[in-house]
Amino acid sequence: MSIVVQGVSKLYGVQKALNNISFEVRTGEIVGFIGPNGAGKSTMMKIITGFIPASSGNVSVNGLPVGDDNPEVKKQIGYLPENNPLYPEMYVREYLGFVASIYKTGSTLRKQTDSIIELTGLAPEQNKKIGALSKGYRQRVGLAQALIHNPAVLILDEATTGLDPNQIIEIRNLIKEAGKEKTVMLSTHIMQEVEAICDRVIIIDKGIIVADEEKINIYSKIIRPKQVIQVEFDKETRESSLSEIKNVKNVKNVRNNLWLIEAESEEDIRPSLFNFAVKNNLTVLSLNKQESNLEDVFRQLTGG
């Protein structure tokens, strides 16, 4: 086990930000940690990385208890905090060299700095001031500082927030690349990010874990119709006629002649819809099966 969280609670004054949280992350897993704003994601990550103490409960990383300022634990963890605080007046290379010097000395320090600059694609920007970089490159510097001591565990808090779509893909690829040999826990509010890179999903809401599943199993947590089909006809038809089609349980008019049809059977209802159109002298303009996505799971479980 790379990360073990047991019965962790966190109080800020009287407010309970985390309420008796427990979960485990296996070595090599990439876990998506998702939840609405204020759910407690950053608080949990700060506790795992030893930045703030828990009010109660225990956390260990690679078998070592977090807390007590144990430098051995810090070596195991790379952390990209939310909002990625950096020193804008420092130069990229100077800053990364400085971070590396906390962990290494001599020639290994230089080598480590070089290789991380290479890995994160920072070579062309290495002699610029951090404050002069684009947001995408600043995130790369944040990732570089998290990776520089080659930690076994990466904790990334909203690593792609505020980036443009191209930058998001670049940072995601970097995370995927780094995640090949590491255990990664990342928080995000972008569901496609979890779909794209995670093996497992933990959903937190109001300081409580509401789901913790392998990505492929997460849909078992919600109630959803077996099939949802979106169909568009060229002319008007009646809701009551559509409801009479075999296996149809629910019919919703989206707009004009566009309908959302829900069925409770595994049997594909598209042929029946097609026959319905033929019988009623309608032309089918489009016919699409809608897959549930993580967004649906998130909304149902967090009431967001």
Min dist CB 200 to ligand ADP, Å, is 18
Contact 9, 197 (CB under 8 A): no
Which residue, 159 or 218, is less far from Mg ion as judged by CB?
159
Nearest residue by C-beta to Mg ion?
A: 42
Task: Give the DSSP H/E element, type plus range, for residue 42.
Answer: helix 41-48
If one asks whether residue 42 binds Mg ion (CB under 5 A), the answer comes out as yes
Provide the minimum distance between the beta carbon of 11 and ligand ADP in the complex, in angstroms, as a whole number.
Answer: 9
Q: Please select the residue that binds ligand ADP; options are 23, 29, 34, 42, rule is CB under 6 A.
A: 42
Assign 3-class secondary structure to 202-239.
Answer: EEEECCEEEEEEEHHHHHHHCCCCCEEEEEEECCCCCH
Other Cβ atoms within 10 Å of 186 Cβ, number: 26
Q: Which stretch binds Mg ion (CB under 5 A): 37-45, 46-54, 216-224, 292-300?
A: 37-45
**Strand partners for 77:** 153
Distance CA 21, CA 5 (A): 7
* Spatial CB neighbours of 252, under 8 Å, sequence gap ≥ 6: 259, 260, 261, 262
Nearer to ligand ADP, 33 or 91 (CB): 33
* The one among 24, 82, 212, 296 contacting Mg ion by CB under 5 A: 82
43 binds, among ligand ADP, Mg ion, none (CB under 5 to 8 A by kind): ligand ADP
Residue 66 makes contact with ligand ADP by CB under 6 A: no
Name which position in 8, 31, 34, 39 contacts ligand ADP (CB under 6 A). Answer: 39
Contact (Cβ atoms closer than 8 angstroms) between residue 209 and residue 203? yes
Tell which residue, 220, 222, 200, 224, has the closest CA to residue 212: 200
Identify which of residues 159 and 174 has a Cβ nearer to Mg ion in the complex: 159
Q: How far apart are CA 103 and CA 74, in angstroms?
A: 10
Residue 49 lies near ligand ADP (rule: CB under 6 A):
no
Instruction: Summarize as ranges the residues that interact with Mg ion (CB under 5 A).
Output: 41-42, 82
Instruction: Summarize as ranges the residues that interact with ligand ADP (CB under 6 A).
Output: 12, 15, 17, 35, 37-43
